Structure 1
Amino acid sequence: MYHFIAIAGTNSFPSTNRQLINYISNHFHQRAQIDVFDLSQIEPFCKDDLATLPDDVEALQKLILESDGVIIATPEYDHAAPAVLLNALEWLSIGAKPLVDKPVLVTGASYGTLGTSRAQSQLRQVLNAPELMAAIMPSSEFYLSHSLDAFDDKGNLKSAEVVERLEALFNDFLTYVTVQSTLTSQRRYKILEANATKW
């Protein structure tokens, strides 16, 4: 069984992205172990003080390194991913480089119609940065629109069509993780390249 780390890109607890990531973790528990990591305790990134990583950052890096992939649900604020999520990615761009070649599935939920489409586009760009080089699953958009009305009082998605679409996406992600796990020849060189990148 695959083991994934799931991240809701928010420090807000009444968040539909947190609901989405918890739903994914629960709904697919028989097909994969999906552990949810809370970003709310990670401290602000400071490039001037990198001698010792904070404990929460080290824990997240270790969890990602030991996992088979990462699932992210991002909110959208001002057409962009939230600062708390980008902050975590800045921490992940140093140290052990845990996202290099790591399969990543990007999702998101929003109150409006577009379902975090702009934030997901930006997030993909960041994950593709030379310090991160995540293996983002292509053609894998999942936008949960009108998310305030999407869940019932037990945290389950109401729409059978949305559930079917999410299940199809998860099936593809499992296949993608399987394929990606065989593409390891360049990883050592990518890590060297990531460590050598200076802005």
Structure 2
Amino acid sequence: MSQARIVVLVGSLRGASISRQIAEAAVSTAPDGAEVAIYEGIGEIPFYNEDIDTAGSVPAAAQALRDAVAASDGLLLVTPEYNGSVPAVLKNAIDWLSRPYGAGAIGGKPVAALSGSISPNAAKWAHGDIVKVVGVAGGKVVEEAHLHYAGWGERFGANHPREDAEAQRELGEALKVLVTAASGELVSA
């Protein structure tokens, strides 16, 4: 397996959120030969507006995200569920990554989603929405790498997911599938 670079986008801006902790745990399970890193700063990106997405005037925060994803081999999205859907900050990042139309940084990149919530639904509505948005934006959804966590407040509220052997195993397996896809060996539609 060749070196693969995976960018992780976290859909919660709260520093100690379970979404953030899941992302940190996922990074710690990166297989050999893979560079997996959480992207910092999606909260600094302005809402997508075509008026400011013009040559020479793209906001620096949006351009930095585009550059990071363009230089990567794949994306891992970690999303909680806000009011039955994807948090605005994560949707906004994908909107910026989908432009310019037909040539966005997300185009053709393997993408996996980890979703979770305090409910027994395991953020499956947010997951469904993120899969739809990623597909429309041009990303290649890797369903085999997806995970859903129900009741994650109870499961991970007292201990970081890095301390949960089952979560570590699941995250490691999901990342291995994503890295394999990012290395060009497996991509599903």
Evaluate the alpha carbon distance shift between residue 152 and residue 116 of structure 1 in structure 2; reply closer, same or farther with a 3 A threshold. closer
In 2, Cα distance between equivalents of 1:180 and 1:30:
16
Equivalent residue, structure 2, for 1:185: none
In 2, Cα distance between equivalents of 1:141 and 1:60:
22
* 2:76 paired residue among 61, 66, 71: 71
Relative to the length of structure 1, the TM-score reads: 0.80
Q: Please give the root-mean-square deviation of Cα atoms over the aligned residues, in Å.
A: 2.3
Equivalent residue, structure 1, for 2:130: 123
Equivalent residue, structure 2, for 1:194: none
Q: Does 1:82 align with 2:87?
A: yes
Q: Secondary structure at the match of 1:179?
A: coil
Alignment deviations for residues 119-166 of structure 1 (CA, whole Å, 9 cap, x no partner): 01101101111xx21011033330122222333767344433333222
Q: Secondary structure at the match of 2:6?
A: strand
Relative to the length of structure 2, the TM-score reads: 0.84
Query: Offset at 1:19?
Result: 0.9
Evaluate the alpha carbon distance shift between residue 140 and residue 35 of structure 1 in structure 2; reply closer, same or farther with a 3 A threshold. closer
Q: Does 1:138 align with 2:143?
A: yes
Q: Relative contact order, CA 8 A, sep 6+: which one is greater?
A: 2
Q: Does 1:109 align with 2:116?
A: yes
In 2, Cα distance between equivalents of 1:87 and 1:158:
32
Instruction: State the structure with more CA Rg.
Output: 1
Spell out the pairing of 1:54-65 with structure 2 (5 A cutoff): 54-65=59-70
The percent of aligned pairs where both chains have the same amino acid is: 21
In 2, Cα distance between equivalents of 1:49 and 1:174:
34
| Structure 2 residue runs without a partner (length 5+) | none
Alignment deviations for residues 167-199 of structure 1 (CA, whole Å, 9 cap, x no partner): 2222222222223689xxxxxxxxxxxxxxxxx
Equivalent residue, structure 2, for 1:49: 52
Asked if 2 retains the 8 angstrom alpha-carbon contact of 1:103 and 1:180, the reply is: no
